[in-house]
Structure 1
Amino acid sequence: MHEEMQRVAQVREPVERAKAASTLIGDYQGRLIELSRVRREAIEEAAASGMTQSEIATRLGVSRGRIGQLAAQGPPPERAFFGTDLMTISLGGKYEAGKAEDENRSEVVVREDLQNFDRLRKLLATLKLDANYEVIPPSGMVNLNRDNHVVVCGPRLSPIIAQVLEGDDYLRFEKDRAWHLVDLKTEQRFRSPLDEDGTAGDFGYLARLPRLDGRGTFLYAAGIHAIGANGVVHFLENNLPELYKEVRTRRFSTLISCRYDPKTLEVLESKRVTPLYRHEG
Structure 2
Amino acid sequence: MEEDFDGLRTDPDPIRRGRRATDLLAVYQQRSTELARIRRAAIEEARDLLGGSYTEVAKAFGLTKGRITQIRATAPPAHRAFFGVGPLAVALPGRIIRDRDDVVIAAEDDKTGANLISELEKLSFITERVIIDPREEWEPTGDAVIVCGPASAHIGHTLMSRDPVLRMAIGDNAQWYLVDEVTGDRFLSPLDEPDPKRADHAYIARRKRGSHVIVHIAGLHALGSVGAARYVMESVPELFAEYGDEEFSMAVTTEFDGLIPKQPKILVPPRKWS
TM-score, normalising length: structure 1: 0.83
User: Could you tell me which of 123, 126, 150 is aligned with 1:127?
Assistant: 123
- The more displaced of 164-173 and 154-163 is 154-163
Residue in structure 1 matched with residue 223 of structure 2 by the alignment: 227
**Structure 1 residues 110 and 52, CA, compared in 2 at 3 Å: closer, same or farther?**
same
**Structure 1 residues 207 and 4, CA, compared in 2 at 3 Å: closer, same or farther?**
closer
Residue in structure 1 matched with residue 260 of structure 2 by the alignment: 266
CA distance in 1, matches of 2:149, 2:18: 44
Give yes or no for contact 1:203–1:256 (8 Å, CA) kept in 2.
yes
CA distance in 2, matches of 1:32, 1:7: 21
**Any idea what the Cα deviations from partners look like across 1:15-69, whole Å, max 9, x if unmatched?**
9988887776655433322211111112223345553212322321333333222
Residue correspondence of structure 1 range 169-184 to structure 2 within 5 A: 169-176=164-171, 177=173, 178-184=175-181
Give yes or no for contact 1:148–1:218 (8 Å, CA) kept in 2.
yes
CA distance in 1, matches of 2:116, 2:186: 28
Query: Which consecutive unaligned segments of at least 5 residues does structure 1 have?
Result: none
Give yes or no for contact 1:40–1:72 (8 Å, CA) kept in 2.
no
Residue correspondence of structure 1 range 60-209 to structure 2 within 5 A: 60-96=61-97, 99=98, 103-139=99-135, 141-144=137-140, 146-176=141-171, 177=173, 178-196=175-193, 197-209=195-207
Residue in structure 2 matched with residue 39 of structure 1 by the alignment: 39
Residue in structure 2 matched with residue 30 of structure 1 by the alignment: 30
CA distance in 2, matches of 1:164, 1:6: 35
**Structure 1 residues 157 and 42, CA, compared in 2 at 3 Å: closer, same or farther?**
same
Give yes or no for contact 2:252–2:266 (8 Å, CA) kept in 1.
yes
- SS of match in other structure, 1:245: helix
CA distance in 2, matches of 1:28, 1:133: 20
Paired AA for residue 278 in structure 1? K
Equivalent residues, number = 270
CA distance in 2, matches of 1:179, 1:13: 51
> What's the C-alpha RMSD, in Å, of the aligned pairs?
2.9
Residue correspondence of structure 1 range 240-255 to structure 2 within 5 A: 240-255=236-251
- SS of match in other structure, 1:277: strand
What is the CA-CA distance between 1:81 and the residue it aligns to? 1.5
Identical pairs, percent: 33
Give yes or no for contact 1:217–1:251 (8 Å, CA) kept in 2.
no
**Structure 1 residues 56 and 90, CA, compared in 2 at 3 Å: closer, same or farther?**
same
